[in-house]
Structure 1
Amino acid sequence: MLKLPMLKASLASKEERWSPPDKNWFKLNSDATIDETEGLARLGVVIRNSREEFTATSICRRPFSGVIEFVEASAVLEGIELVVDLGLTPLMIESDSVNGISLISGRISSNLEINWLIYDIRAFICNKTEQGELVAI
């Protein structure tokens, strides 16, 4: 599995305006929405460069598992897989999911089925930064 050599993860507030990543970096923004009547989750991913240009996007539907953190983490993983396929590094991940970013960065843990998904995300980013740490800013 190809790993991301440089990565930062951050929490995005719904009120703050999008800001570009540092020069020569890419930023992955992900989000998910739930349609409980259809039992579906819709995942969206946008990747932009430091010049604020759209580099890649992805939209997909998945069955809703009943756990919002699982859906939010699924959107992050969808974006990471796209980033790896396109070779867009270094990368900053931004999400409005407090628990999703906390799970990915290891600040909290869960005994739910989300663990395997978080494991997959961490497998992509195990080289995290030059110091070997995932930076949560």
Structure 2
Amino acid sequence: MFFMLNWQSSVKLRLSSIWEVLPAGVFKINTDAALNFRNNISGIGVAIRDCNGHVMASLCQHIGTAYQPQIAETLAILRCLKLAVETGLVPAVVESDALSVVNAITSKMVPNTEVGMVIHDILCILRNSNFISVKLLPRLANKVSHSLARLALGYVGEFV
């Protein structure tokens, strides 16, 4: 019993140090991608939480191609934006652990590459919708969306 209480306390401490409280009515969206090059597949995971941390929507989407990591992460951000708009879960802060993608989006620099085409679409959605920011999230704090992305590798289709 003591061990369980201790474990729960330490988990709560770690989670509270990761969770950033948002104003009422603002949603937090975490997104990630997973890749399996051997089977040539990718997966996208999205978790949308309210300002209290309650999950309002989640998504796992199987993609029948193993994209390069930067492309997969960019597609994951694009899909999370579309999901938030489709479900009306905005205004929102988007978080991803993909440093190069977050930097490209926040700098509004659109490279002349495949990733650039997706970033252009992301910037259009951000400009025309009620999104507050796109931020870098430590990988350790992105476990839910990472787990959803890995789960998507084992299923065909999209589950919301």
TM-score, length basis structure 2: 0.66
Task: Give the superposition deviation at 1:118.
Answer: 0.5
Q: SS state of the match for residue 127, structure 2? A: coil
Q: 5+ residue gaps in structure 1?
A: 1-15
Query: Residues 9-28 of structure 1: matches in 2 within 5 Å?
Result: 17-28=18-29
Q: Distance in 2 between matches of 1:53 and 1:94?
A: 16
The answer on whether the counterparts of 2:110 and 2:119 sit within 8 Å (CA) in structure 1 is no
- 2:41 maps to 40
- Greater gyration radius: 2
| 1:80 CA displacement | 0.7
Q: Aligned AA for 2:86?
A: D
Q: Distance in 2 between matches of 1:136 and 1:71?
A: 17
Give the corresponding residue for 2:73: 72
| 5+ residue gaps, structure 2 | 1-16, 137-160
Partner of 1:95: 96
- Structure 1 residues 29 and 134: alpha-carbon distance in aligned structure 2, compared to 1, 3 A threshold: closer
Tell me how large the CA RMSD over aligned residues is. 2.4
Q: Does 1:60 align with 2:61?
A: yes
State the secondary structure of the residue aligned to 2:111. coil
Contact in 1 for aligned 2:44/2:61 (Cα 8 Å): yes
How many residues end up aligned between the 2 structures?
119
Q: Report the Cα offset of residue 17 of structure 1.
A: 2.3
Specify which structure has the bigger relative contact order, considering alpha-carbon pairs within 8 angstroms and separated by 6 or more residues. Answer: 1
Contact 2:73 2:98 in 1 (8 A): yes
Off by >4 Å, runs of 4+ in structure 1:
133-137
The letter for the 1-side match of 2:34 is: T
Superimposed CA distance per residue, residues 63-95 of structure 1 (whole angstroms, 9 cap, x where no aligned partner): 122x21110011111111110011111110001
How does the TM-score come out when normalised to structure 1?
Answer: 0.76
Q: For residues 45 and 51 of structure 2, what CA distance do their matches in structure 1 show?
A: 20
Secondary structure of the structure 1 residue equivalent to 2:58: strand
Opposite residue 70 of structure 1, the aligned amino acid is I
Task: Give the distance between the partners of 1:135 and 1:30, measured in 2 at CA.
Answer: 11
Partner of 2:157: none
Corresponding residue SS for 2:18: coil
Instruction: Tell me what 2:87 maps to.
Output: 86
- Counterpart CA distance in 1 for 2:108 and 2:123 is 13
Q: Is the 8 A contact 1:128 1:134 kept in 2?
A: no
Look up the SS of the partner of 1:52 in the other structure: coil
Q: Structure 1 residues 21 and 128 mapped into 2: Cα distance closer, same or farther (>3 Å)? A: same
